[in-house]
Amino acid sequence: MAEWLVLTIAMAVTCAVVLAVILLSQSRHGALATGEEPREVHTPDVLEYMTMMVGVIYAIVLGLAIAGVWEARGAAQDNVRREAQALHEISQRAEALPADVRTRIRADIGEYVSYVVRTEWPRMTHGKELSARGGELLEAVRKDITRRTPKNDLEAGVYQPMVEQAAAAADARITREESAESSTLPAVVWYGLIGGAVATIGLIFTMRMGGSSRELLIAGLFSALITFLLFLVWDFDAPFGRAGSDTATADAFRRLFPGST
């Protein structure tokens, strides 16, 4: 199911539940009279102050959570670009090597990139661990470079940079593997975010709302906003995107190696 559809359904359900509870509560207490506009009611100052404080604290926590997952998503994407760029540099520098060596290196790089995009990436979006196969393919690329002694000054000039780029790709892969095995936010933070959302929205029912159209609109928009922000945190909590979403892409590899993906 598309992310935008899930978000729309979640926001609609939340608004419907909140408005239904408000209307049922007002109806039970006789706050609404047929054909009459609900009268204004007064909320104690202390309750208003407590509601405001809870809302501010929750807004700060929610903002920090959004900033955290946003930063983690950006760092993961930068790391993927670093891995893809390192492999691309190896492929380009291999131009200085003999044809058979160059062909073997580029073929191994292509096989590794194809495996990452077609096999590893779907596993990462489902939160699964990466297999050892990817590491073996990348190790094959490194061995293609290191097991051959440079024959002339031109080959010697590209040898060390290629070794360094292979090491950079391996380091980026390890970081990507570690990021894929766990979400950015721990479970205790999610308990706090969900509990805080319930408490914050629940405070609406203590405000002695009269049930007018204006008040119902504000309550609906408020609950929809919190639902949207929680969905945003959940979506960005997966550094490499979620299965079936538009963010679950390996654009860096696809852009630099179009023939292998």
Angle at which helices 45-93 and 153-180 cross, to 10°: 150
Residue span of the structural domain in which 114 resides: 3-29+47-256
* CA dihedral angle for residue 234, residue 237, residue 239, residue 243, rounded to 10 degrees: -30
Number of domains in the chain: 1
Per-residue confidence band for 32, with pLDDT thresholds at 50, 70 and 90: very low
Residue 229, domain member (yes or no): yes
Residue 182: inside a domain: yes
Does residue 39 lie in a domain region? Answer: no
pTM of the model: 0.76
Q: Is 34 inside a domain boundary? A: no
3-27 pLDDT, tens digit each: 677 778 888 888 888 878 777 776 7
pLDDT tens profile 138-154: 999 999 998 888 888 88
Is the sign of the CA dihedral 106, 107, 110, 111 positive or negative?
Answer: negative
For the stretch 184-211, pLDDT in tens is 788 888 999 999 998 888 887 776 665 6
Residue 130 covered by a domain: yes
Domain presence at residue 138: yes
